[in-house]
Amino acid sequence: EPEVTQTPSHQVTQMGQEVILRCVPISNHLYFYWYRQILGQKVEFLVSFYNNEISEKSEIFDDQFSVERPDGSNFTLKIRSTKLEDSAMYFCASRDSSVQPQHFGDGTRLSIL
């Protein structure tokens, strides 16, 4: 069964550094998402992406965040200047139509030191 793939599984970064989290969505999917889960808290929506542009974003998704689909298969989340509070699990998800469920990757654990 097709899967959403995320790399790396764990990323350790110094505060203030830039980090790029990578995702390969399921190949025929059209809608792409990033979520995060801070330890002990609920999964929170960050951003949705459709037709090569951001379609919705949450309050969390401020100017330090950006997303890109550089080559038609990868979907990346960039955090420009990381802060301690960015430490979380980041999940990528995708779906193929408006009434289909989102399928999630296994996440990247981001640790900011």
Partner 1 sequence: DQQVKQNSPSLSVQEGRISILNCDYTNSMFDYFLWYKKYPAEGPTFLISISSIKDKNEDGRFTVFLNKSAKHLSLHIVPSQPGDSAVYFCAASAIGYGGSQGNLIFGKGTKLSVKP
107 part of the interface to partner 1, by CB under 8 A? yes
On the CB side of 79, CA atoms within 13 Å amount to 28
Residue 96 in contact with partner 1, rule: CB under 8 A: no
Q: How is residue 104 written in tokens?
A: 């999630």
Query: Are 91 and 105 within 8 A, CB to CB?
Result: yes
Task: State both tokens at 43.
Answer: 């999964």
Distances (CA, A) of 18 to 10, 32, 38, 77, 88: 15, 22, 19, 11, 15
105 is an interface residue for partner 1 by CB under 8 A: yes
Q: Which of 15, 16, 50, 73 binds partner 1 (CB under 8 A)?
A: 50
> What's the token pair of residue 24?
């390969």
Residue 45 Cβ vs partner 1, minimum distance, rounded to whole Å? 4
Nearer to partner 1, 69 or 103 (CB): 103
**3-state DSSP call for residue 42?**
coil
Give the β-pairing of 75-79 and 19-24: antiparallel
Q: Does 35 bind partner 1 (CB under 8 A)?
A: yes
Which position among 41, 59, 62, 84 is part of the footprint of partner 1 (CB under 8 A)?
Answer: 41
20, 38, 56, 81: which one binds partner 1 (CB under 8 A): 56
43 is a site residue for partner 1 (CB under 8 A): yes
Nearer to partner 1, 86 or 107 (CB): 107
